[in-house]
Structure 1
C-alpha cells in the first residue's frame, strides 16, 4: 500500500481510531476440572473475540462513514491548488485507510512527500461536513450567530456549539470572533479598542453560507473577494482550531518571525509561529510570533488580516492562492483591515495593537557592541579609538561578559572594575550605555504575567542602576530560551506538553529549548502565554526604566509579539557573517515595520563567524540605514568595529555614518509619524507605488518614509548595483543629478566607498551638519534638501523636541515645522513651537531640479549669495544595442582621452562581437555632465573599471552620438536641470 509521510519530528503517532482504545473484559475464569466446561469457555472466548472484531469493524466503519464515503470522481474534480490538507500531522505515515477514516480524499502523487511541502495526498472533499449556521441576529455593533456541528470532528473534544460575533467597528475595520458558546477559553490579554457604534459606511460587505458555514468578505468598490472560508471545513476542537480561505492574489507579506524573502512563496509552504531561540534559518520558527498578514490585491488595493491568538500555530500557504490557519488553543479572533492602500492597512492594524513608542533621539545614533570585550578597560579603549577617528557613536554596549558569574544585576569586580567610570565618561561625552539582561545559568524564569513581578524587577534594576547608571536595556533569550528541553526535571506527560497535534515547530515539541508548556503562570499556563513572554518582559522593563530614569526608555528585545512596538525595538537575532545574511536583513526590517515595531535592525557585519573587510564595509553602508543601527559580534572572532579595519574601509564606514547622522532630523520625524499615526519608517517600494506590480517583489531596496530610496550592494566583488526606479524623477542624494524614470531597473556605479541614495521628486528632507554624537549633531544648523517635482513643487516637515523627555507631543513640548516650495518660492512655517524652536536655524538650502540658473535668490526679501551647479535629467535607455556597420562612426583619434574625474559606467551589455557601454560623468573641457553610448569590439579588450581617472579608448571604438564634435559632450535630447545651493 502506498503512503506518504510529512516532515519527521519527535511527535508520537496519533491513534488511528478511538474505537481501538476500547478493551474487552478479560477476567480469568474459575478453575474447573470438567473438560466440557473448558470447551464451553473456549467457545465463548471465540465468540467474544468474533463479536469484538465485528464491533471494532463497525466502529471503524462509523468513523470512516460519519462524514460519508467520497466517490473518486468528486475527489478527482478538486484542482490540485485547491486541495486542503486533511492530514497535516507530522511523523505519521498517511495511508489511504487513515485518510478515508477521516472521510477525506486520498489521491497518490508520483512521488511520496518527503517534507512538509507539496500537494497533499489526503485532502478534504467538497462536501466534507462542517458547522451549520443555526441563527444570526442583529446587534448594536453587528451580528451574533450560533454555529452547530452535527457530525463529530476527528479531533477529540471538538466543540459542538460555537458563538459567532461580527462587529462592524469602523468603515475600514471588521472584527470577527468565533469561540465556544458555553465555556470560556483563553483569550490574549491585549488592550484593544472597543467600538462604540456600528460603522455607517463600511467599504466591505459580508455574506454567510449557512451549511456548511462560511464567510464571504468583499470589497464594495471592486467586488474583489478578500476572504472565502467555504473552501474547507471549519474545525474547532479544544486543542485544534483550523480555518481556511481563498486569497485574492499571491502577493502576501508578514506572518513572522521567519527568515524569508519579503514576499512569501505560496508554493505549499508552512510558516510556524512559536517563539524559539535558534540562529535565523529558512523554514524555522524564530524568536517572535506575529499572526498578521498584508496582501496586495490585483488592482493595487491592499488589505490585512490579524488573528489575535498567542497559542502555537502554523499558517499553510498553497498556490490556489489560499491560506489555512491552524492553532492549538484559544479562540479565532480576527481583525480585517480594508486599507485601501498598504500604508493605511498598517495604520489600521496599529490602531488595534497600539502605535510604537517614540524612541529617544540618541537611540537613532550608531551603537557598538560585542560579546567578548573581556574587560571594561578593553571596552573603554574601543570608545576612545572611535573618538580618536571621529567616527560617530552614540551608545556603547556590553554583553554577558560584564557579569559576575553570569548573574543578573551584577558586574565582575575584577575584569569590569572600572565599569562605573566608563559609564561616567560616556555621559560626559554625550554618549550612552546599554547592557544586556539575560539568564545564562541555572534559572527560575520570572513570571512577567504577574503584576508583583513588575515591582520585583523594578527594585532589582533600581539597585543595580545606582551602581552602574545604564541608559538602556537589552533583553535577550526571552522566548524564553532554555539550554535544555523543558525543566531540569523534564515535562509532564499530559496533554499540554504533548498535544495530539503539534504545529511544525523546530524540534517537534513545544518544550524544545524552552519552558514546559504546562508551567503555571499567574495569567494562565505557559501553553497559552509562551509567545507573550517577550512582550511581557519588554513591558516590565520599559516601565522600570521610565521610573528609574524619568526619560524615554530604550529597550531592545529579541522575542516579540503584536503591540510590542509600544515598549521596545527589536534586533533580528544571531545572524552570521555572510553575504546572504546581509540580504535577509532587508526583508526582516521591512516585515517588522509591518508589525508595528519600526525600531529594528540586524547585527551589522554579522554576529557569528568571521567577516571580511569588503562584507563589513558593505554591511556598514546598509546598516547605516537600518532604523536601529548596531554593530555586534560574538566572542573568539576578530573584531569588526570600524576602527578594527584599515584606512580605506574605516573611512568608508565613517562617511556613511556621517550621512546617517546628517539625516537624523528626517529619521526622527519619521519616527514621530510612526508614533503618532502608525506609519512605517523603513518601507517597501510598493507602499508608495501600489499600482506598480514590479515593486511587489522588491526586497533588495527600501525607502525611508516616502522619499529616500536606499539601494545597497548585497553581493561580493562588484562595483555596480542594479536598482529599480519607479516612475518619476529621482535625484542623487549627494550630487542632485536627476533621473527621469518610466519605471525601470538601472545599473549604477557602486564603488566600495559608496551607497546609492536617491531622493524622490516633491520631497524636502531636513538634514543637519553631522557631529560625532546625536547630541552634537542636534545643535548644528539644518541643511534642507528640496527635490522639485516636475511641476516645480516640494513639501517636507520636521518634528523637534529635546529628544528624551516623556510624552513631549502629548504635553505640547515640541516644535513642528512645515516646508514648502511652489512657484519658485520656498517657505518655512512653524505650526507649533516651544523653547526648542529657538535653536532651529537653517544654514543651507539645496534645491534639486532648478531648470535654469536663477538671476538672484532672496531670503526674507534680501538678496542672498548662492551657487548653481548645472546638471541634467538622464533619460535611461530601455536597453543597449550595438549598431549596424553603416551606423558606426570612428573615434576622433587612434587613442583619445575621453574623460577624467567622476565618470562612471552606467550600464554594460555584451553581444557576440561588441560591448555596449553607457558612460556618465563630467567633461573635462566644459565642466558639463555628459552621457555617451559607446560600442566597441570585444577584441579590443575594453573592460573599463567603475571609477578610472582616465579612459583610453582604442580607435576601433565607435561612438553612437550622431553629432560628435568633442570627446566629452552633454547628452543630446535630455531636459537639463541643475542644483541651486543657497548658503
Structure 2
C-alpha cells in the first residue's frame, strides 16, 4: 500500500500486489478510495485504474444525500496496515472494532475478489435471500448470493440477493455493512466471529453504517439504495389467487363465493391460466374471452384485479401474429447470445427471448406492450414472476460457449452447480454489460420498467409484485417469498423472511398464505391466515394440483376464525397505511423485528417467532400444530391485549398466552394510540366507515399516535402536500386530536368511538367536545369504552374523563 493522500471526500492510495494470488489474471495495481460520506457512513472502493470494470448502477438512482466534501465529526476511525494491506474500522465512542480485515489475505483478480473481516459479535442478520432464522448461524455457514428459481429450503440460494448485514453488539449498539456488487457472491460465516466475502467480478464497493442502533442503520442503508415506494391503499387488503382458475367464470365464482361467505376481499388474481398459449400480453379467446368484461365487473364491485406477467417472450408464433416479439425484434430489445442474436431459453410458452431491461429502448417497448394490453384489459397491478430470470434449460436451447464467463475459475455453491443453472448463459450480452455482471439485477430492472410503465399508463400509484429482488427494489415493487410449501416449518420460517426484507428496504412483503406447494390442512390454513393477517402484504395463493384453500372451503369454525383474522386486519388498515407512510418518508420498518425496536434488550436479539407492527403492536402467532397456549416474550413495560385491554406488566419475561384456534394474540404497547376503522368487505367500503381509537396509556397516563390519510391511489401525495395528517395525544385523562394538515379526503369521516386501556378507576363521567356521553367501564381489565360518537376527523376533538 502506498501513501494515503487527501481527496475531495476523504483519502486515496495505490495498492500494489506484493506476491501472486495463484488465481487466474491477478490485477497488480489497484486504486483505493476512502470516502467519508457522513458522520455515520464510511464508504470504501477498490478499483482497477487500468481497466473499466463493471460497477453497479441502480436504476433511476437518486443523487447522493451527502455533501461533496468529507464529513466532519465522524463516528468512526479507520487505520491501515500497509504490508500486507488491511484496514481496521473502529467506533470512536467506545473504540470498539467494527471491522478488522487482517484475518485473511485481500485478493483482487479478474474473476475473484475476496475480503475477510472480524465481526463485533455473533448476532448477525441479513445476507438474503435464504431460508434462515433471523440470526444467522456462524458455524462455517456458506451463503451464496445468486438469484435462482429455487423453492425455499435450507442451504439453497433463492430468488433475491441482498449483500447487507446488521451486527448487534453486546452493549446494544449495532452497525451495518453493504457490499454494492451484483456479481455472484459467496459469504462464509465463521465462529471466530468473522466472515469472508467472495465476489466473482466487479469492484470492491463497501459501505459501513455506524448506526448506532438498528433503526438508524436501516435509514442510512436506504439513503444509499432508496426509500420504499408508497403502495396504493387497496394493496393492503386481502388478495386471492390460484394457479388453476381455468376460466373467467371460475374466477368470477371465487370472488362471488368470498362475498357470499362474508369474507373481506380486495384483489382477485389470475395466474398464467388467462394467457393464450401461455404467452404474456394475450388472453385466451375461449377460456377468458370475456376477461375485459370480468375485470369491469370486479371494478363495479370495488374489487381490483392483478395478473401474472412473466418476462419471457414467446418466439414461436408466425411472423406478424404476436406483436410483443415482432416489435421487440425490430426494436432490438432482447438479451443477445455471444453471436449477437437473441438468446433463446425455454419457459412456459416454450422457446422464449428475454427483454434486456438495462436498455432504454426496452423500457419504452415494455411500456408500449403494457399500454396496449391495458387498453384491452384494465388490470390494476402486475405480478412479475420468473424474473431471476428463470429458464427451463441450462443457459440456452443452444447451450453456452466455452468462455471464462460461462466457466469461471471459481463457482460458489449454487443450486445446480453452475451459474447458468435454470437461467441464461453468463456470456449473454446486455446493454450495460454481460449477464455475468447483471444477472442478480434482472428482477430489479424489470420492476423499475414495470413501475414506470404503470405510472405513465395509469397516472396513479402503481402496484407491482416481484419474486426476484436486489437492493433498491423496494422503491418500485413489493416482493413475495416464492413457492413456499404448505407445512408448519415453512409457516414459521416465513416470519424471519418477512422481517429480513424489512431490513432490506422492502416493507411490502408476505408469504403465500396457507402455502403454495402441497396440500394444506384446515388447522394449518387457519393459523396461516391468522399470521398472514399481519404480513404487510397478504395473499392466499395455491398451486394447480392441490386441494382448494380459499377461506370459504373450510368448516364453519375455521371460517369464523379466518373471518375474524381478516376483519382484524381490515380494522387496522389506517394504522398499517400510516406505517407505510413512515417507511416511504423516513425509512422506518413496517413489520419490525424485536431487536430493531429493543436493541438494548439482549433477549430480543434472536426472536423471530414474534414481531411488531411499527413500535406499537406485538404479534405472537401460534406456529405449531395442536397448540392451545404459546410462550410469548414481552419486553419490559405494560402490554395490553388488543382484544379486550387486559394488561400484562412485564419485567422482560416470557408469559404463556391462551391460543385456541379462534385466537390471534396481539398486544398494544403502553404509550401508543392506534387509529382503526370499522371493517367492511373491501378497503373502498372500509375507508368510508367511522374511525375509532385504541389508546394504551403508559404508567404516567400518556399516549401518542398519528394518522396519515390521502385518497389512497394518487401519485406523490406526500410530496405534493395532498394529504391529511392527524396527531393524537393522551394525557391528564384527555385525548386530543391535532389535524396538522388537512385535505378533502378526511371530509365526512368521523370518529365513532374510543377504547382507553389503563384507566385504573371507574370514571364519573366522560365528555366528548365538552358534552357528556355514555360510556362503559370494564373493571376487570381497566378499560374505558366510548361508542356512538360522531366527531369529525377533520376537526380538533377532545374526549376526556373524570375519575
TM-score (norm 2): 0.92
Match for residue 435 of structure 1 among 304, 307, 311: 307
CA apart distance, 1:504: 1.4
CA apart distance, 1:747: 1.1
Match for residue 627 of structure 1 among 527, 536, 541: 536
Any residues of structure 2 matched to 1:556-705 within 5 Å, and which? 556-705=465-614
Distance 1:208 1:409 in 2: 56
CA apart distance, 1:980: 4.2
SS of residue paired to 2:132: coil
Distance 2:780 2:6 in 1: 65
Match for residue 25 of structure 2 among 145, 157, 166: 157
Match for residue 740 of structure 1 among 636, 649, 653: 649
1:979 and 2:774 correspond:
no
Q: Contact 2:232–2:713 at 8 Å: present in 1 too?
A: yes
Find the counterpart in structure 2 of residue 380 from structure 1: 252
Distance 2:515 2:670 in 1: 35
Match for residue 14 of structure 2 among 121, 146, 151: 146
Distance 1:528 1:361 in 2: 36
Find the counterpart in structure 1 of residue 731 from structure 2: 822
CA apart distance, 1:718: 1.3
1:369 and 2:237 correspond:
no
Moved over 4 A (4+): none
Find the counterpart in structure 2 of residue 175 from structure 1: 43
1:470 and 2:338 correspond:
no
Find the counterpart in structure 2 of residue 836 from structure 1: 745
Distance 1:364 1:236 in 2: 46
Q: Contact 1:290–1:595 at 8 Å: present in 2 too?
A: yes
Q: Contact 1:736–1:871 at 8 Å: present in 2 too?
A: no
Q: Contact 1:262–1:591 at 8 Å: present in 2 too?
A: yes
Distance 2:698 2:748 in 1: 30
Find the counterpart in structure 1 of residue 322 from structure 2: none
Any residues of structure 2 matched to 1:195-210 within 5 Å, and which? 195-210=67-82
CA apart distance, 1:981: 3.4
Q: Contact 2:227–2:587 at 8 Å: present in 1 too?
A: yes
Find the counterpart in structure 2 of residue 409 from structure 1: 281
Find the counterpart in structure 1 of residue 142 from structure 2: 270
Find the counterpart in structure 1 of residue 128 from structure 2: 256
Q: Contact 1:327–1:503 at 8 Å: present in 2 too?
A: no
Q: Contact 1:377–1:418 at 8 Å: present in 2 too?
A: no
Q: Deviations over 1:504-551 (max 9, x none)?
A: 111111100100000011110000000000000000011111111111
Match for residue 411 of structure 2 among 480, 502, 519: 502
Distance 1:693 1:402 in 2: 51
CA apart distance, 1:566: 0.5
CA apart distance, 1:826: 1.0
Distance 1:716 1:420 in 2: 43
Find the counterpart in structure 2 of residue 448 from structure 1: 357
Q: Contact 1:519–1:526 at 8 Å: present in 2 too?
A: yes
Q: Deviations over 1:432-451 (max 9, x none)?
A: 00000114221000111101
Q: Contact 1:871–1:979 at 8 Å: present in 2 too?
A: no
1:523 and 2:391 correspond:
no
SS of residue paired to 2:352: coil
SS of residue paired to 2:719: helix
Match for residue 223 of structure 2 among 348, 351, 361: 351
Distance 2:548 2:290 in 1: 22
SS of residue paired to 1:810: coil
Q: Deviations over 1:243-302 (max 9, x none)?
A: 000000001001010011111000000110000001111110000110000111110011
Q: Contact 1:314–1:503 at 8 Å: present in 2 too?
A: yes
Q: Is there any run of 5+ residues in structure 2 with no aligned partner, and where?
A: 313-347, 789-803
1:325 and 2:197 correspond:
yes
Q: Deviations over 1:436-492 (max 9, x none)?
A: 011422100011110101111111111111111100000001000010111100001
SS of residue paired to 1:807: coil
Any residues of structure 2 matched to 1:712-861 within 5 Å, and which? 712-861=621-770
CA apart distance, 1:870: 1.1
Distance 2:573 2:100 in 1: 45
CA apart distance, 1:403: 0.8
CA apart distance, 1:871: 2.8
Distance 1:320 1:981 in 2: 57
Find the counterpart in structure 2 of residue 422 from structure 1: 294
Distance 1:238 1:979 in 2: 69
Any residues of structure 2 matched to 1:387-406 within 5 Å, and which? 387-406=259-278
Any residues of structure 2 matched to 1:35-50 within 5 Å, and which? none
Distance 2:488 2:502 in 1: 23
Distance 1:274 1:804 in 2: 35
Q: Contact 1:589–1:600 at 8 Å: present in 2 too?
A: yes
Distance 1:444 1:772 in 2: 41
Distance 1:678 1:595 in 2: 10
RMSD: 1.0
Q: Contact 2:775–2:784 at 8 Å: present in 1 too?
A: no
Match for residue 459 of structure 1 among 348, 368, 372: 368
Q: Contact 2:675–2:692 at 8 Å: present in 1 too?
A: yes
Distance 2:470 2:2 in 1: 36
Find the counterpart in structure 2 of residue 97 from structure 1: none
Higher relative contact order (CA 8 A, sep 6+): 2
Find the counterpart in structure 1 of residue 339 from structure 2: none
Q: Contact 1:736–1:979 at 8 Å: present in 2 too?
A: no
TM-score (norm 1): 0.75
SS of residue paired to 1:839: coil
Q: Deviations over 1:330-352 (max 9, x none)?
A: 00101111111111110111011
Distance 2:251 2:630 in 1: 36
CA apart distance, 1:192: 5.7
Q: Contact 2:755–2:783 at 8 Å: present in 1 too?
A: no
SS of residue paired to 2:457: helix
Distance 1:457 1:871 in 2: 61
CA apart distance, 1:193: 4.2
Q: Contact 1:738–1:871 at 8 Å: present in 2 too?
A: no
Pair 1:208–1:595, CA change in 2 (3 A): same
Find the counterpart in structure 1 of residue 115 from structure 2: 243
Distance 1:615 1:379 in 2: 24
CA apart distance, 1:978: 3.6
CA apart distance, 1:183: 1.7
CA apart distance, 1:214: 1.1
Q: Contact 1:792–1:821 at 8 Å: present in 2 too?
A: yes
Distance 2:141 2:234 in 1: 41
Q: Which moved more, 1:696-705 or 1:180-189?
A: 180-189
Distance 2:715 2:292 in 1: 26
1:706 and 2:615 correspond:
yes
Find the counterpart in structure 1 of residue 166 from structure 2: 294
Find the counterpart in structure 2 of residue 93 from structure 1: none
Q: Deviations over 1:9-51 (max 9, x none)?
A: xxxxxxxxxxxxxxxxxxxxxxxxxxxxxxxxxxxxxxxxxxx
SS of residue paired to 1:687: helix
Any residues of structure 2 matched to 1:899-938 within 5 Å, and which? none
